[in-house]
Amino acid sequence: MVPDVINCPSCAKLTVKSKFRDVCEECYKAEEKIFDAVYSYMRKRENRAATIPQIIEATGVEEALLLKFIKNGRLKQAHFPNLGYPCDKCGGIIHSGKICGNCAKELRTELEIHAKEEIRKQEVIERERRSTYLSGKNTEL
């Protein structure tokens, strides 16, 4: 099997795609160095309740990279209660999944409405099919 070659999303260098890393080796090492700095900051008792803006200000980490660490479970909300990341739909802060509870509820409601509409359409088609008939004759006036 030939490995997939991709451009690193961070630096655009060619790299072999890996299921464990989404960046090239150099960018991975740089990310690990930043993670170590963030984790060292967060391990201190007085910083465990730090918010994302406080962490960014103190460590200089980019917000996107910090959110990546949180989403990948490298910084756990159980240990650091003020960490979260934005809901993919509304941008509200969440601690797990991709969307918040309100957006999930809204999505379920929309899916239920869609399912009911599909059932109604099928019933209309079935009624029309039953009420339409063809005679076997083709008569002209």
Helices (H), 24-100: 25-43, 52-59, 63-71
* Verdict on whether the full-model pTM lies above 0.85: no
Residue reference for tokens 């797990």: 96
Q: Which two tokens stand for residue 29?
A: 């090492």
Q: What are phi and psi of 52, to 5 degrees?
A: -60, -50
Q: What are phi and psi of 7, to 5 degrees?
A: -90, 135
Calpha distance 31→66 (Å, rounded): 10
pLDDT along the chain (141 residues), means of 10: 80 85 90 94 90 92 91 82 85 86 94 94 88 60 50
Calpha distance 82→86 (Å, rounded): 13
With 0-12 CB in 10 A as exposed, 13-18 as middle and 19+ as buried, what is 61? buried
Calpha distance 31→11 (Å, rounded): 12
pLDDT of residue 118: 94
